Amino acid sequence: MADLTKIFLFRMTHIDNIPHIVQYGITHGSSPNRNEHFRAIGDNSLINARSQFRLANGRTLGEYTPFYFGPRMPMLYVIQKGFNNVPSTPPEDIVYYVCSVQKILDTGLDFVFTNGHAIDGLSSIYEKGAIERLEELLDFEAIQAKFWKNESDLDIKRRKEAEFLVDGDLPLSVIVGYAVYAESSKTKLENWGIPPKMIAVRPNFYF
């Protein structure tokens, strides 16, 4: 079985959302503690599609908080470059907060995970009981690949975007660290009370 303390989950957010996370943890949009001033950076058309995409368990994707298994995902490229009618966001304003699978397991919250982009019909969706087989079910080589255009592997982009979807609000304690693009971003997080040792400057996580 994989060491789930060493399998990390990445979620991107606008830096302006960090103070709310520090105060309330990771909250879902339907939560009583939701961020009323949440600053979105994603693709609204995709968000709307996910809110209607129903899983075998009767829930919709929009009811879960999604994480990726790595940084530098195709969606980040869209967000930074401003494609698909998504306004561009400078990398200095994008923060990753990073959790471990084990930390989330310890909360007892329900979750599902996928072996590819969750809305893609080729992806399989796994329940909580399959977590022990995580390493064999996911293609971590694709997840960690720097590029996803490959004429000999047209499915790599889907597999790279495997997701971990958590039901309910998550406490701040599940976050093991933050990754930012620049020192200026790190300083902002420190000023909001995040210990410097929890913040890594990782420009290679961006485009």
Q: How far apart are CA 31 and CA 44, in angstroms?
A: 19
Which pLDDT band holds residue 56 (cuts at 50, 70, 90)? confident
In this structure, are residues 127 and 142 in contact, taking their beta carbons and an 8 Å threshold?
no
Query: How many structural domains are present in the chain?
Result: 1
| 50: annotated active-site residue | yes
Is 11 assigned a catalytic role? no
Average pLDDT on 164-189 reads: 98
* Predicted confidence (pLDDT) per residue in 103-118, tens digit: 999 999 999 999 999 9
DSSP state of 75: H
pTM here is 0.96
Residue 178 has pLDDT above 80, yes or no: yes
Instruction: With a cut of 90, say whether residue 203 has pLDDT above it.
Output: yes
The answer to whether 174 and 153 are in contact (CB under 8 A) is no
Q: Which domain holds residue 24?
A: 4-205
Using DSSP bridges, classify how beta strands 94-100 and 64-68 pair: parallel, antiparallel or unpaired: unpaired
From the candidates 50, 72, 158, 159, which is the catalytic residue? 50
**Catalytic, out of 59, 132, 163, 202:** 163
**Residue 45, φ and ψ in degrees, nearest 5:** -65, -40
pLDDT in tens, 57-115: 889 999 999 999 999 999 999 999 998 889 999 999 999 999 999 999 999 999 999 99
Q: E-strand spans in the chain?
A: 8-14, 64-68, 94-100, 111-114, 125-126, 163-167, 175-180, 199-201
Q: CA-based angle 86:114:111, to the nearest 5?
A: 100
Structure tokens at 205: 């996580």
- Sheet order of strands, 64-68 included: 125-126, 111-114, 163-167, 64-68, 8-14, 94-100, 175-180, 199-201
